[in-house]
């Protein structure tokens, strides 16, 4: 069985950095792509990017300046690394094993594979 495990929630202050781990079992994080999606309240699911290996990853153009991905193959964990997060980046962040994404596909895969991390950007 494929399982992707994330922390339930995280709170960061505006302009701080955040690292969201996604622990994978059931497939190799260095030979199979792990995608990331986020869902902000009142908005559609948004594809963020992917990591297929330590040398193969990508981030959607609108978030390239603030989000990147790394992997630790020894612990089978993929990390979303965010910097300079603002209140508009508050969302549930999902990791999912999918190769492409539309809204319906994202939603079903994300909810099947991980419960997501609610990342709250709050404070001053």
Res 119 pLDDT > 90: no
For 66-75, write each residue's pLDDT tens digit. 999 999 999 9
Predicted local distance difference test score (pLDDT) of residue 113? 61
Q: pTM for the complete prediction?
A: 0.85
- Tens-digit pLDDT profile for residues 73-103: 999 999 999 999 999 999 999 998 865 455 5
Tell me the CATH number at 74: 2.60.40.10
Domain, as residue range, for 61 = 3-121
Q: How far apart are CA 20 and CA 4, in angstroms?
A: 12
Domain count, the chain: 1
Q: In the chain, pLDDT over 70 holds for what percent of residues?
A: 85
Angle at 42 between CA 41 and CA 48, to 5 degrees: 65
């Amino acid at each position: 069985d494929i399982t992707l495990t994330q922390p339930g929630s995280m709170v960061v202050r505006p302009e701080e950095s955040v690292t969201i781990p996604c622990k994978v079992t059931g497939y190799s994080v260095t030979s199979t792509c792990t995608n990331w999606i986020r869902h902000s309240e009142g908005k559609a699911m948004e594809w963020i990017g992917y990591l297929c290996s330590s040398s193969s990853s990508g981030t959607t153009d609108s978030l390239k300046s603030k989000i990147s991905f790394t992997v630790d193959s020894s612990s089978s964990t993929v990390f979303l690394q965010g910097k300079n997060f603002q209140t508009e980046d508050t969302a549930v962040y999902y990791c999912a094993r999918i190769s492409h994404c539309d809204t319906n596909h994202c939603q079903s895969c994300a909810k099947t594979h991980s419960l997501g991390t609610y990342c709250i950007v709050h404070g001053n």
